Amino acid sequence: MRWYHPFLFALDAEQAHRLTIRALAAAGSRTGRVETSPRLANIVAGVHFPNPVGLAAGVDKDGEAVHGFHGLGFGSVEVGTLTPLPQSGNPKPRLFRLVDDRGVINRMGFNNGGLTAALDRLPRDRKGVLGINVGANKDATDRTADYVTGVTRASRCADYVTINISSPNTPGLRDLQHGAALAELLTATREAAALTPLFLKVAPDLEQPQIDEIARAAIDHRIDALIVSNTTISRPPLKSGNAVETGGLSGAPLAPLAAQRLADFRAATGGRLPLISAGGIGSADEAYARIRAGASLIQLYSALVYEGPGLARAIAKGLDRLLARDGFANVSEAVGA
């Protein structure tokens, strides 16, 4: 256990999270610099990533600490999920540590201060890549319209925009992952994004026909990358008392399912779309395994709770060593190798 864990773990999980964001926001770029090297830098979906290690959406929901997270070594920071209107999310408590399992369960419900406040706050002189993750308000009568609003506005200041239709904590949201609803959404948001790269974030709780359908739709509608995947509503065997909580499970228990879905989408897309792997990555070895399995980039979230703020830099440096060991001049050569 790291020295700061007893202090942070004595707090409610959401309180500890807010304290961390405030500290990083105050520190800004003084936290350090983006980790990079010729082996780690890569172009994905037309965007130059200084390294393949990204911060997943859900950590810095309102874009308060972009400089701080880039300073921890992250090559990219994805803020959000942002909705057109502010919303408070689900009732508290809604964030739970599963310490014995090194996992997290959340049922946040897209709590955020809204697009306008976040976009006004985001830095323009950032050192790494900035992604903006957008969603629909819980009470929206036209969810596709909410996504179009989010993509239109976010694309003006983001390096890429992600449409998140895979959170399990907004009722009915995952219904957008199939059929006519998916086609309508992708058509509308692709047009709204214009020249800005558009990513789609999918759930891990999919069967093969759904995976094939999403892969075909993403290719047909010129989606630039898939993020595989969000949290899971499934429950593998868990030891922690908080395992009974409802919501999306992330962290180490998600790793096997996330890795399997990466392989499934790699096969379904035939390598025609860049894939970004998220879920249960907590080491350079695991990150490297995902890259070798077909991920162009990886994203972290829950492992930061247990491994601490040095994780992104440690993974990036570890990846550099692993790539050199295996004779790869650049990370792009290792993708799917």
Beta-carbon count within 10 A of 244 CB: 10
CATH classification of the domain holding 320: 3.20.20.70
- What percentage of the chain exceeds 70 in pLDDT? 97
* Binding residue numbers for FMN: 57-61, 81, 133, 164, 201, 229, 251, 280, 301-302
Confidence of residue 32 (pLDDT cuts 50, 70, 90): confident
What residue type is assigned to position 334 of the chain? Answer: A
Q: Which domain holds residue 315?
A: 5-334
Rounding to the nearest 10 degrees, give the CA dihedral for residues 262, 195, 77, 104: -40
Question: Is residue 167 among the annotated active site residues?
Answer: yes
Of 117-121, 174-178, 192-196, 284-288, the range with the lowest mean pLDDT is: 174-178
Q: Is the pLDDT reported for residue 1 higher than 60?
A: no
Q: Cα separation of 171 and 280, whole Å? A: 24
Which residue has better confidence, 221 or 176? 221
DSSP alpha helices (H): ranges in the chain?
5-9, 13-27, 66-71, 115-121, 143-154, 179-193, 208-220, 255-269, 284-292, 303-307, 311-325, 331-334
Across residues 160-167, what is the average pLDDT? 90
Q: Cα separation of 320 and 315, whole Å? A: 9
Residue 287 CB contacts under 8 Å (≥ 6 apart), including other chains: 52, 53, 281, 298, 315, 318, 319
* Binding residue numbers for substrate: 61, 106-110, 164, 169, 230-231
Spatial contact of 3 and 93, defined as CB atoms under 8 Å apart: no
* Binding residue numbers: 57-61, 81, 106-110, 133, 164, 169, 201, 229-231, 251, 280, 301-302
Kindly name the residue from 155, 166, 167, 296 that is annotated as catalytic.
167
The pTM assigned to this predicted structure is 0.94
Best-predicted range by mean pLDDT (21-30, 67-76, 161-170): 67-76
Confidence of residue 129 (pLDDT cuts 50, 70, 90): very high
Spatial contact of 25 and 65, defined as CB atoms under 8 Å apart: yes
pLDDT of the residue at 6: 73
Number of domains in the chain: 1
Confidence of residue 80 (pLDDT cuts 50, 70, 90): confident
Q: Is the pLDDT reported for residue 152 higher than 90?
A: yes
Q: Cα separation of 255 and 282, whole Å? A: 9
Q: What's the mean pLDDT when you consider all of the chain?
A: 93
Residue 256 has which token pair? Answer: 């096997």
